[in-house]
Chain A
């Protein structure tokens, strides 16, 4: 029992930095940070700043630039298209993040607990969607989800359960579910790999000790695995939330949002305003709002991290 308590989350103690190296540390930090920061400034930060400035102007990419203040932001915030897109985006995030990560943790823990040849086979299986070409995957899912005599899912539902299934791809309500299924299917493998990597850093002695203490599998999972895995889970949650808020690519191959208003996300709107209609101002305004939304959600997660995530030190 004593061991279990020790493995519980505790505040990350600051590394005991030796006295007198403080000033030098600044230089070391600069040295270690320099390559990333340089690339980042040039290729992410600068374009981002530029794009955000565009949110306050009217520009078609070719003609003159006119400053319009908050008009673009106001227009987006009151536009039904933007509000619908925001709601669609949030719905996708609310489904894919918990379900996708929950499944990935469960599968990773399962895979981690078995050894030998079978484990290899499973790992490869779960990773296959990640390498399956998106064209093939989209074709396949379209066949599965089609609402006609060829649709695998609906014909099966009809035959075995007498249920007539919804139009998975073209019904604006159901398309969110379809998108979520395909997104989870395609990203599961990567999350499993990350979690497996995280699980490998848990000292086996801890698990062993817990077992000797008589803790069951669930208890071990709750008290050791999950706390020890929490930094990785935290990372994956942040990434999954951000990427689900940026959802566009997977949707685009499955069902072109042009054909289904339920599949229109904020990034789709950004793309459309910017590149179909050449309205870089409103497009950037929508993007700025997306950034604010993402930042807010991420800050909330970081705040929650203090209570939920365990760092060894």
Chain B
């Protein structure tokens, strides 16, 4: 893998605070607070009781604090099972998506074959129609092969992901061809090159895609709603929908406590993921080892 190592560049100049930096921080922080606002509001409201929501809905702080919302929310429905369902569906979807779409992306980016261009456009075209359109045909098809009311009905259609292929193709095209040439000269085969040269070099792309795919799966509502019938198979978003009745709710504290419970794992996944994904590249320079 010596070929990947970049020519030793000039060592990074020692950091000092440049004039623009302070302004940059100010702007980023301001924007960041706007992003933070609803999240904090959700957390705070999740500690409010019914009485306060009715009488002073605009209060910023809970009064009194009602942590009981959390056990109440948890006790109301089988969160544990839904958590597990959502989690493993998301993880399997991510793993399968990353692998299969990286393979396809490699073919489009690096292998010359007849009809590559046309096939790629067709690929993309299939994702230009929203799920609402294909829902009935997809259901008919899944019912035919006996997948309705199973988690595979959520996983397999989600793995078919032209955007993922597109994204990774963009990343692979940015990988210097010389790296692959070098590996080829070393006698590596196609798959070997894909696995040991290309994949490590598109790690940021895989990371970003992984996060997106995870979140899409984690938040997916329409598909589980239509494709799952059995209570035991329900995912987290389905459960959350069950909190409010038809005529509007008053127990927002409870609903938001439930929402917060649902959000925490994605947040943790991101906290772990973003450090590793985004920073690993910055820390190690170009290329992964």
**A77 in contact (CB, < 8 A):** no
Taken residue by residue from 259 to 289, chain B's Cβ proximity to chain A (1 for < 8 Å, 0 otherwise) reads as 1101100110011001101100110011000
Contact call B112/A120, Cβ cutoff below 8 A: no
Nearest CB of A to B46, in Å: 9
Question: Which residue of the partner chain, among A35, A129, A196, contacts B104 with CB atoms under 8 Å?
Answer: A35
Contact call A48/B126, Cβ cutoff below 8 A: yes
Contact call A313/B141, Cβ cutoff below 8 A: no
Contact call A51/B134, Cβ cutoff below 8 A: yes
Contact call B137/A235, Cβ cutoff below 8 A: no
**A5 in contact (CB, < 8 A):** no
Contact call B259/A136, Cβ cutoff below 8 A: yes
The stretch that binds A, out of B72-80, B83-91, B205-213, is B205-213
Nearest CB of B to A239, in Å: 6
Q: A39-B100, A131-B215 are in contact. Are A17 and B112 (CB under 8 A)?
A: yes
In the assembled complex, which residues on chain A have CB atoms less than 8 Å from the CB atom of B111?
25, 28-29, 32
Q: How far is the CA of A45 from the CA of B12 in the complex (A)?
A: 50
Taken residue by residue from 42 to 65, chain A's Cβ proximity to chain B (1 for < 8 Å, 0 otherwise) reads as 111111101100100000010000
Contact call B162/A47, Cβ cutoff below 8 A: no
**A174 in contact (CB, < 8 A):** no
CB proximity to B under 8 Å, residues A234-290 = 234-235, 238-239, 242, 245-246, 248, 267, 270-271, 274-275, 280, 283-284, 287, 290
The stretch that binds B, out of A8-16, A67-75, A91-99, A156-164, is A8-16
Q: How far is the CA of A313 from the CA of B132 in the complex (A)?
A: 39
Q: A35-B103, A123-B274, A132-B39 are in contact. Are A16 and B25 (CB under 8 A)?
A: no
In the assembled complex, which residues on chain A have CB atoms less than 8 Å from the CB atom of B122?
45
Question: Does more than half of chain A's interface fall in helix, strand or loop, or is it mixed?
Answer: helix
**B24 in contact (CB, < 8 A):** yes
**A113 in contact (CB, < 8 A):** yes
The listed residue with most A CB atoms (<10 A of its CB), out of B140, B162, B184, B282, is B282
CB proximity to A under 8 Å, residues B208-246 = 208, 211-212, 215, 219, 240
Name the residue of chain B whose CB is nearest to the CB of A14: B112
Q: How far is the CA of A282 from the CA of B203 in the complex (A)?
A: 44
Q: A47-B134, A143-B58 are in contact. Are A133 and B263 (CB under 8 A)?
A: yes
Q: A197-B204, A291-B125 are in contact. Are A136 and B107 (CB under 8 A)?
A: no
CB proximity to B under 8 Å, residues A210-226 = 212, 217
Name the residue of chain A whose CB is nearest to the CB of B109: A15
Contact call B266/A131, Cβ cutoff below 8 A: yes
In the assembled complex, which residues on chain B have CB atoms less than 8 Å from the CB atom of A33?
103-104, 107, 119
In the assembled complex, which residues on chain B have CB atoms less than 8 Å from the CB atom of A141?
38
In the assembled complex, which residues on chain A have CB atoms less than 8 Å from the CB atom of B118?
none
The stretch that binds B, out of A78-86, A165-173, A183-191, is A183-191
In the assembled complex, which residues on chain A have CB atoms less than 8 Å from the CB atom of B21?
114
Contact call A36/B100, Cβ cutoff below 8 A: yes
**B3 in contact (CB, < 8 A):** no
Contact call A208/B9, Cβ cutoff below 8 A: yes
The listed residue with most B CB atoms (<10 A of its CB), out of A111, A201, A245, is A201
Taken residue by residue from 85 to 123, chain A's Cβ proximity to chain B (1 for < 8 Å, 0 otherwise) reads as 000000000000000000000010011011100101111
**B176 in contact (CB, < 8 A):** yes
Question: Does more than half of chain B's interface fall in helix, strand or loop, or is it mixed?
Answer: helix
Contact call B275/A120, Cβ cutoff below 8 A: yes
**B31 in contact (CB, < 8 A):** yes
Q: How far is the CA of A45 from the CA of B28 in the complex (A)?
A: 42
Q: How far is the CA of A22 from the CA of B111 in the complex (A)?
A: 9
**B70 in contact (CB, < 8 A):** no
Q: A33-B103, A125-B32, A203-B286 are in contact. Are A312 and B166 (CB under 8 A)?
A: no
Contact call A140/B127, Cβ cutoff below 8 A: no
In the assembled complex, which residues on chain B have CB atoms less than 8 Å from the CB atom of A133?
42, 240, 256, 259-260, 262-263
Contact call B208/A15, Cβ cutoff below 8 A: no
**A204 in contact (CB, < 8 A):** yes
In the assembled complex, which residues on chain B have CB atoms less than 8 Å from the CB atom of A234?
170
In the assembled complex, which residues on chain B have CB atoms less than 8 Å from the CB atom of A284?
133
Contact call B106/A32, Cβ cutoff below 8 A: yes
Q: How far is the CA of A201 from the CA of B201 in the complex (A)?
A: 8
Name the residue of chain B whose CB is nearest to the CB of A193: B208
**A135 in contact (CB, < 8 A):** yes
Nearest CB of A to B281, in Å: 4
**B6 in contact (CB, < 8 A):** yes
Q: A125-B32, A291-B128 are in contact. Are A193 and B10 (CB under 8 A)?
A: no
Contact call A298/B128, Cβ cutoff below 8 A: yes
Q: List 5 extra interface pairs beyond A45-B122, A48-B137, A294-B128, CB under 8 A.
A: A50-B141, A133-B256, A188-B35, A197-B205, A201-B174
26 residue pairs from A and B, CB less than 8 Å apart = A15-B112, A16-B177, A22-B112, A29-B107, A43-B157, A50-B134, A110-B24, A115-B15, A128-B36, A135-B240, A135-B259, A136-B42, A137-B38, A190-B211, A194-B212, A197-B277, A200-B278, A208-B12, A231-B174, A287-B132, A290-B130, A291-B129, A294-B128, A302-B121, A311-B174, A313-B177
User: Nearest 6 CB-CB pairs, A to B?
Assistant: A125-B32, A197-B204, A133-B259, A50-B137, A47-B137, A136-B42
A contacts, CB < 8 Å to B: 12, 14-18, 22, 25-26, 28-29, 31-33, 35-37, 39-40, 42-48, 50-51, 54, 61, 107, 110-111, 113-115, 118, 120-137, 139-141, 143, 150, 185, 188-190, 193-194, 196-198, 200-201, 203-205, 208, 212, 217, 228, 231-232, 234-235, 238-239, 242, 245-246, 248, 267, 270-271, 274-275, 280, 283-284, 287, 290-291, 294-295, 298, 302, 311-313
